[in-house]
């Protein structure tokens, strides 16, 4: 009860702040000045206020109501975590009327003021929000921080030192990457480019950091001019002597992290490039009025999505290490289940990380491990906690979605394990998901095709049975960087644009699923890379296909084999032969025996 009262008390204190500033509604997004997916504790205001622990969601508080807008991945979780509070769960769907902007226009009156901290609002979001509110004569203010006055023990910003990646990992040097960006600017008649997205900055500079859980990035902003002049805005405590020397070699100027607004205001240039989805309105407003703002995707986002062949080789090595760790983990898991050992969802998280930590170059998980047994597996982004978890006992399905950050690659994999006896219905669902996975894995497609257009290929086996899942089928993955990376995204929920084409070297997940609320969840996920499949400019163009990168058996005990056609069986057997060949000589004992058993042909 203490936590519930605390949540309501925080909302009450926020409303007091709103009243004193004549604010009718205050918006608390899941964002920071870099618009990151995973946030430093200092910027986890939405979670601190509401108690909702999901990675995405927007809290809106008015004088009389409070609502949390979440998409389908979090509907059940949000209902559970907000139970007993004054915050209502608002289900965000594809319908325009379901979003918080529409809700505000119906709740507020003309001349009311809506406020949000502009340091955590993207330029594109500001444009959408301000345009919608203006139609109803509602004002939008972006300079008020109402959270700090009531968050007395707000954590400080992290200041861990940054470090250079090992020599030989990156195909392009720091200088090469800055040259590519400045070349793009010159080609498009742009004077400079301001970057806030942390993975872009880490990629360009070939540095990594420890400021954000799961993603090896660091808090900084970056400015690159068309003459290659480069400025990094970063806390000086993060700069070691080694890193300072490397920056000096490239003549990269170091400025204080907080100096961005003043720097942008004093720029004497004609045109500046910013990504409206990855730069905040705080920085957008700081730019002098006489400077033309060119709103386009960060060119580095497009560059880093297409991994070089040598980088793909490093990723393959990371996948091999991950496969070794997973072989040890699943061998342990099956033995522990057979011996009726006490295992919980928390144990799964601990053990899988423990086995990965035995591999060279392991730096930690690439996202919070999802270990969901039966009903918990039906929550796509479920996470067990010390206060809320399930024991693995009885009969059912255990879904495990996990990944590792290695010096030479980032991994992400989902497998489902049978525990005790599984039903025919569970096997049916599992087999349909496997068919969906194989359908996409076997796809060939024209180079440059928009990634969302591939989504129906995976969903077709489910759609034929009037079944579906409410998340995307595939997301991009970074090279020893963020586990979720753009611009490609295999989901029909995403808009189609010129920047979401599929090209050689892109690494993407293949993860269809099926979820029965309060019963079980199934998801089968591998990482794949786009490789050349044939064709040329003289025929119908260049075609691509997927090469599997993930090396871990797909459990065959849940398959209704008669539902697989000959082609699907051939794919599965070939994949398992690939896994066995890659890992067999690296294993011994229980892990090797498990690998051989789980890669037997069907």
CATH number, domain containing residue 581: 3.90.230.10
Neighbouring CB atoms inside 10 A of 347's CB total 18
From CA 205, how far away is CA 218, in angstroms rounded?
11
Is 433 within 8 Å of 563 (Cβ atoms)? Answer: no
Q: Report the residue count for the chain.
A: 602
Residue 153 lies in a domain: no
From CA 64, how far away is CA 76, in angstroms rounded?
24
What was the pLDDT predicted at 76? 85
Give the long-range contacts of residues 271-274, CB within 8 A, separation 24 or more: 271/189, 271/190, 271/191, 271/192, 272/190, 272/191, 272/192, 272/193, 272/194, 273/185, 273/188, 273/190, 273/192, 273/193, 273/194, 273/299, 274/123, 274/193, 274/194
Neighbouring CB atoms inside 10 A of 131's CB total 11
Residues 483 and 508 in one domain: yes
Nearest CA among 328, 385, 519 for reference residue 47: 385
Q: Which of 269, 304, 339 is the last residue of a domain?
A: 304
Neighbouring CB atoms inside 10 A of 435's CB total 21
Residue 10 lies in a domain: yes
Residues 295 and 312 in one domain: no
Residue 12's Cα: distance from chain center in Å?
32
Is 36 within 8 Å of 280 (Cβ atoms)? Answer: no
Residues 25 and 118 in one domain: yes
Q: If residue 360 lies in a helix (H) or strand (E), which one and from where to where?
A: none
Residues 255 and 290 in one domain: yes
Residues 324 and 204 in one domain: no
What was the pLDDT predicted at 1? 36
What was the pLDDT predicted at 538? 83
Residues 91 and 198 in one domain: no
What was the pLDDT predicted at 537? 78
Residues 24 and 62 in one domain: yes
Is 243 within 8 Å of 162 (Cβ atoms)? Answer: yes
Neighbouring CB atoms inside 10 A of 482's CB total 30
What was the pLDDT predicted at 536? 86
Residue 213 lies in a domain: yes
Q: Which of 285, 304, 323 is the last residue of a domain?
A: 304
What was the pLDDT predicted at 179? 98
Within the chain, which residues score under 70 in pLDDT? 1-5
Residues 311 and 298 in one domain: no
Give every CB contact of residue 160 below 8 A, 6+ residues apart in sequence: 209, 210, 211, 218, 238
Residue 221 lies in a domain: yes
Domain tally, the chain: 3
What was the pLDDT predicted at 137? 97
Residue 155 lies in a domain: no
What was the pLDDT predicted at 463? 98
Residue 580 lies in a domain: yes
Query: How does pLDDT run across 207-243, given as a tens digit for each residue?
Result: 999 999 999 999 999 999 999 999 999 999 999 999 9
What was the pLDDT predicted at 555? 98
Q: Copy the structure tokens of residue 169.
A: 């990992």
Query: How does pLDDT run across 292-315, given as a tens digit for each residue?
Result: 999 999 999 999 999 999 999 999
Neighbouring CB atoms inside 10 A of 428's CB total 16
Residues 323 and 389 in one domain: yes
Residue 156 lies in a domain: no
What was the pLDDT predicted at 3? 47
Residues 8 and 80 in one domain: yes
Q: Which of 255, 277, 304 is the last residue of a domain?
A: 304
pTM of the model: 0.94
Residues 118 and 246 in one domain: no
Angle at 452 between CA 451 and CA 454, to 5 degrees: 75
Domain that holds residue 60: 2-141
From CA 51, how far away is CA 47, in angstroms rounded?
5
Is 258 within 8 Å of 279 (Cβ atoms)? Answer: no
Taking the C-alpha atoms of 377, 379, 380 and 382 in order, what is their torsion angle to the nearest 10 degrees? -90
Residues 521 and 434 in one domain: yes
CATH of the domain at 45: 3.40.350.10
Residue 388 lies in a domain: yes
């Amino acid at each position: 009860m203490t936590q519930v009262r605390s949540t309501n008390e925080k909302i009450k204190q926020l409303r007091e702040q709103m009243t004193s500033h004549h604010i009718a509604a205050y918006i608390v997004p899941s964002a920071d000045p870099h618009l990151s997916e995973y946030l430093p504790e200092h910027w986890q205001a939405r979670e601190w206020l509401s108690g909702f622990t999901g990675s995405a969601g927007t809290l809106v508080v008015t004088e009389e109501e409070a609502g949390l807008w979440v998409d389908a991945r979090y509907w059940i979780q949000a209902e559970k975590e907000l139970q007993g509070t004054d915050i209502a769960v608002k289900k965000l769907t594809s319908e325009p009327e379901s979003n918080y902007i529409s809700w505000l226009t119906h709740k507020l009156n003309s001349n009311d003021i809506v406020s949000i901290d502009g340091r955590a609002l993207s330029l594109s979001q500001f444009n959408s929000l301000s345009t919608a509110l203006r139609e109803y004569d509602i004002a939008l203010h972006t300079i008020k921080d109402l959270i700090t006055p009531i968050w007395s023990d707000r954590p400080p910003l992290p200041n861990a030192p940054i470090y250079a990646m090992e020599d030989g990992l990156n195909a392009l040097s720091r200088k090469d990457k800055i040259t590519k960006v400045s070349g793009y600017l010159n080609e498009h008649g742009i004077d400079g480019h301001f970057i806030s997205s942390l993975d872009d900055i880490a990629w360009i500079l070939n540095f990594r950091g420890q400021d954000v859980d799961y993603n090896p990035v660091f808090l900084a902003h970056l400015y690159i001019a068309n003459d290659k002049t480069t400025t990094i805005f970063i806390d000086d405590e993060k700069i070691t002597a080694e890193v300072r020397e490397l920056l000096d070699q490239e003549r990269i100027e170091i400025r204080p992290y907080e100096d961005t607004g003043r720097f942008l205001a004093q720029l004497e240039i004609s045109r500046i490039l910013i990504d409206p989805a990855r730069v905040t309105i705080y920085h957008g407003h700081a730019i002098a009025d006489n400077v033309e703002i060119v709103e386009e995707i960060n060119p580095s986002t497009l560059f880093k999505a297409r991994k070089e062949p040598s980088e793909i080789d490093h990723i393959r090595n990371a996948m091999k290490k991950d496969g070794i760790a997973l072989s040890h983990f699943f061998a342990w898991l099956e033995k522990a289940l057979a011996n009726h050992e006490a295992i919980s969802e928390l144990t799964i998280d601990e053990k899988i990380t423990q086995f990965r930590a035995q591999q060279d170059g392991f730096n930690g998980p690439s996202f919070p491990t999802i270990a969901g047994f039966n009903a918990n597996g039906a929550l796509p982004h479920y996470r067990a906690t010390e206060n809320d978890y399930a024991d693995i006992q009885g009969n059912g399905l255990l879904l495990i979605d996990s990944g590792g950050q290695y010096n030479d690659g980032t991994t992400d994999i989902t497998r489902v394990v049978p525990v005790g006896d599984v039903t025919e219905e569970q096997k049916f669902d599992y087999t349909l998901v496997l068919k969906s996975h194989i359908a996409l894995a076997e796809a060939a497609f024209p180079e440059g095709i928009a990634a969302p257009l591939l989504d129906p290929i995976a969903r077709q086996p489910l759609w034929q049975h009037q079944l579906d899942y409410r998340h995307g089928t595939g997301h991009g993955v970074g090279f020893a960087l963020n586990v979720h990376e753009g611009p490609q995204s295999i989901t029909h929920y995403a808009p189609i644009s010129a920047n979401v084409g599929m090209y050689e070297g892109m690494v993407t997940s293949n993860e269809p699923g099926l979820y029965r609320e309060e019963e079980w969840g199934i998801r089968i996920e591998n990482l794949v890379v786009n490789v050349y499949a044939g064709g040329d400019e003289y025929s119908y163009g260049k075609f691509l296909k997927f090469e599997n990168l993930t090396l871990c058996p797909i459990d065959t005990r849940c398959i209704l084999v008669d539902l697989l056609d000959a082609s699907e069986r051939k794919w599965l057997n070939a994949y398992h032969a690939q896994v066995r060949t890659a890992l067999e000589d690296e294993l011994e004992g229980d892990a090797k025996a498990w690998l051989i058993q789980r890669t037997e042909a069907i």
